[in-house]
Structure 1
Amino acid sequence: MFGIESLYSAEGMFTYALVFLLAATPWIEILVVIPAGIALGLNPLAVSILAFTGNLTTVYLLIFAYHQLSSAFEKRKSGENKKPPTKRKMKAIQIWNKYGLPGLAFISPMTVGTHFATFVALSFKSKKYMVTMWITLSIFVWTVIVTVLSYYGIESLKWMLG
């Protein structure tokens, strides 16, 4: 099993590959991977690019495969008793109702995750190109914010600790 703890024990180029893979993993994403990578002393630019690319790769795969995935979920759901929506789904619906696609895209990294937000946006019949645009913009903006805050936060901590 690999998780964020595997990043701490990795060495060399494998560490950068793990940054990509962990950022591509739903619910781990850039908010965890970027600070961890920078804290380990990895190159902040490389970490941010790999994390952005990793997260975006699986989101794009989800957008591309949405029709097939939704068909499979619908078939599975039709054979089950109706279950109440999960807390994560209820949170996504609340955000959607209040802020729409742009709001869901920009809040998703901190709340429900970009992968789940992408699936929800598509299930609400948003156009694929709009979902792609807003999620990509959101991941880019959050990558820049998290990278800058992580880098300067860690540098400030080093300076304070001497």
Structure 2
Amino acid sequence: MLEFLWMYTLIFLLSAIPLLEAVIVIPFAIFAGMPAVQVTIVALIGNLVTVYFIIIFIEQIKKWRKNKKPSKKSTENRRSQRAERIWKKYGLPGLAIIGPLIVGSHITALMSLTFGGTKRGVTYWLTFSLIGWCVLAAILAHLGFDLFNTRDRELF
């Protein structure tokens, strides 16, 4: 019992880490033999909790970024530029749906709010998007695992 609690805690924590995210953790946990439904739920909750913290504390995050020492190079990175192009072309729904795969859900939340999205809109769209991506990752991992499972097949 303690072993399962430890594994689910680890999935929760890994999913909460920016750039590691639930969409990456879910397939690894399923490939490790953990149940897909439980893994998906725990990973999704871990990812959403930290995204919600970003949404709730966006003002403090903006102040912190503003007060941070400016670097000598003030060029935007490629991910930020890509996210801004998506925002200009598709708005909040497009960035919320495409963003978690391109820049990660945490950066997507931050950029959506920075580009002018409302807290409520970003919360709804990112929740919807993350549920979809996590379910898709779990289904694909489960199907991929079953396709390559050769235990029950005879080799000759």
Quote the Cα distance in structure 2 between the aligned partners of 1:161 and 1:146. Answer: 24
Is 1:122 matched up with 2:113?
A: yes
**What residue is the counterpart of 2:43 in the other structure?**
51
Verify the 8 A CA contact 2:12 2:43 in the aligned structure 1: yes
- In structure 1, runs of 5+ residues without a counterpart are 1-10
Quote the Cα distance in structure 1 between the aligned partners of 2:21 and 2:73. Answer: 30
Q: How many Å apart are 1:103 and its aligned residue?
A: 0.8
Quote the Cα distance in structure 1 between the aligned partners of 2:152 and 2:57. Answer: 48
Is 1:97 matched up with 2:88?
A: yes
Quote the Cα distance in structure 1 between the aligned partners of 2:42 and 2:58. Answer: 24
User: Following superposition of structure 1 onto structure 2, how do residues 20-99 of structure 1 map, counting pairs within 5 Å?
Assistant: 20-76=12-68, 80-81=71-72, 83-99=74-90
Q: Percent identity?
A: 37
Q: How high is the TM-score relative to the length of structure 1?
A: 0.87
Is 1:16 matched up with 2:8?
A: yes
Q: How many Å apart are 1:31 and its aligned residue?
A: 2.0
- In structure 2, runs of 5+ residues without a counterpart are none
Verify the 8 A CA contact 2:30 2:142 in the aligned structure 1: yes
Q: How high is the TM-score relative to the length of structure 2?
A: 0.90
- The structure having more radius of gyration, on CA atoms, is 2
Verify the 8 A CA contact 2:55 2:119 in the aligned structure 1: yes
**What residue is the counterpart of 1:140 in the other structure?**
131
Quote the Cα distance in structure 1 between the aligned partners of 2:89 and 2:73. Answer: 25
Q: How many Å apart are 1:80 and its aligned residue?
A: 4.9
Quote the Cα distance in structure 2 between the aligned partners of 1:142 and 1:161. Answer: 30
Quote the Cα distance in structure 2 between the aligned partners of 1:34 and 1:141. Answer: 13
Number of equivalences: 151
Q: How many Å apart are 1:105 and its aligned residue?
A: 0.7
